[in-house]
Amino acid sequence: MNKITAASLAALAAIAPAVALAPPALADGTPGHGDVKLHATLSPFKVNKVTGSGTAMVHLEGNKAHVTIKVRGLLAGAPHAQHFHVGAKGVCPPESAAKVRNGKLSLNTTDGLPFYGAIGTSLTTSGDTGPASGLAVDRFPVGPEYTYKRTITVTDDVAKSLRSDNAVVVVHGIDYNGNGEYDNVLGPSDLDPSLPAEATNPALCGALRTTATGAVKGGQGGTQTDQRATVAAAAGGALLIGTAGTLYLRRRTGSTS
Ligand SMILES: [Cu+2]
């Protein structure tokens, strides 16, 4: 396994700028700090030849995030960097965001930045959890299958992103050519040219969405998590106007997990 150098961390930090999000205002104008629970279904990037799957759960209390991630079907014996990405659209990239490199169609971490944003939290097994630990491969879980549980204190920006359904879980590390190791079939990593792209390309992705909150605002199901929809309702007089909040509510209603 390649070693992570200080230079590589600097390279990663360069693509993970500080995120400044507007604080999410509730319908009554106060910022949210209450308990929220979030869930994500982690889906594989087929374009990266991934067939694994997983789930992520976060219970956020203040800035304390109790994180549980379960994955299976990833490359065995290899570390899998995993992060909360924040500050963009709060969604996973479509497979159409992939590009041809080394004559092969693949999706690298940079391809997804306009969709899931930069690294907000590194979901390491120990020690630092900031963006600078984004490629600390000796502190990430090892595949093919694992359950990760850790309580992490997240930054204010990440807490706000979680509460506003803007955070995305990305698990990295793929085996594009199925030879059982990270190699250079796709060339060097976009995050650190001393690493193979296979070691850092996204494998699984899931947008975290709130499933429950501690404080329910009366009447119309307008909890903290429904803030965008609630704001939309206040502005437009109806919930079913074409907003991100509406899409979210539909998705949430249709979900059984
Ligand atoms: Cu990531």
Report the alpha-carbon distance of residue 213 to residue 222 in Å, rounded.
10
The phi and psi torsions of 149 (rounded to 5 degrees) equal -135, 125
State the residue range of the domain holding 248. 218-254
Number of domains in the chain: 2
From CA 8, how far away is CA 61, in angstroms rounded? 33
Q: How far is the CA of 121 from the centre of ligand 1 (A)?
A: 9
Answer whether residue 150 is part of any domain: yes
206 plus 227 within the same structural domain: no
The pLDDT tens digits of the residues spanning 104-116 come to 999 999 999 999 9
Residue 119 belongs to a domain: yes
CA of 179 to the centre of ligand 1 (A): 23
Token code pair at residue 154: 């997240």
232 pLDDT higher than 70: no
Rounded Cα distance between 26 and 40, Å, is: 23
Flag whether pLDDT at 74 surpasses 90: yes
Residue 181 in any domain: the answer is yes
Instruction: For residues 30 and 136, state if they share a domain.
Output: yes
Q: Which range, of 71-75, 93-97, 197-201, 216-220, averages the lowest pLDDT? A: 216-220
Note whether 22 and 67 are same-domain residues.
yes
**Confidence band, pLDDT 50/70/90 cuts, at residue 256:** very low
Residue 117, helix vs strand vs coil: coil
3 C-alpha to center of ligand 1: Å? 18
Nearest to 159 by CA among 62, 90, 41, 40: 62
Task: Report the SS3 class of residue 129.
Answer: coil
For the domain that residue 203 is a member of, what is the CATH number? 2.60.40
Are 86 and 174 within one domain? yes
The Cα 19–Cα 40 span in angstroms is 22
Domain presence at residue 190: yes
Q: How many CB atoms lie within 10 A of CB 138?
A: 12
Residue 89 above 80 pLDDT? yes
Report the C-alpha gap between 255 and 257 in whole angstroms: 6
pLDDT tens-digit series, residues 1-55:
444 444 444 444 444 443 334 444 444 333 467 899 999 999 999 999 999 999 9
Q: Are residues 160 and 246 in the same domain?
A: no
Helices within 25-177 (DSSP H only): 109-116, 156-163
Q: Which two tokens stand for residue 182?
A: 């990270």
pLDDT value for 213: 75
Whole-number Å distance, alpha carbon 235 to ligand 1 midpoint, is 35
Whether residue 17 lies inside any domain: the answer is yes
* 134 alpha-carbon distance from chain centroid: 12
Is the predicted pLDDT of residue 73 greater than 70, yes or no? yes
**Same domain? 199 vs 238:** no
| Percent of the chain whose pLDDT exceeds 90 | 69
- Based on the domain organization, do 129 and 183 belong to the same domain? yes
Task: State in Å: Cα 241 to ligand 1 middle.
Answer: 33
Looking at the DSSP bridge assignments, the partners of residue 171 are 82, 204
Please tell me the distance between residue 247's alpha carbon and the centre of ligand 1 in angstroms.
25
Q: Are 130 and 249 part of one and the same domain?
A: no
Residue 69 pLDDT > 60, yes or no? yes
Domain membership flag for residue 1 = no
C-alpha 196, offset from chain centre: 21
124 domain residue, yes or no: yes
**What is the Å distance from ligand 1's center to 223 Cα?**
29
The encoded tokens of residue 203 equal 């494998």
Question: 230 and 141 in one domain?
Answer: no
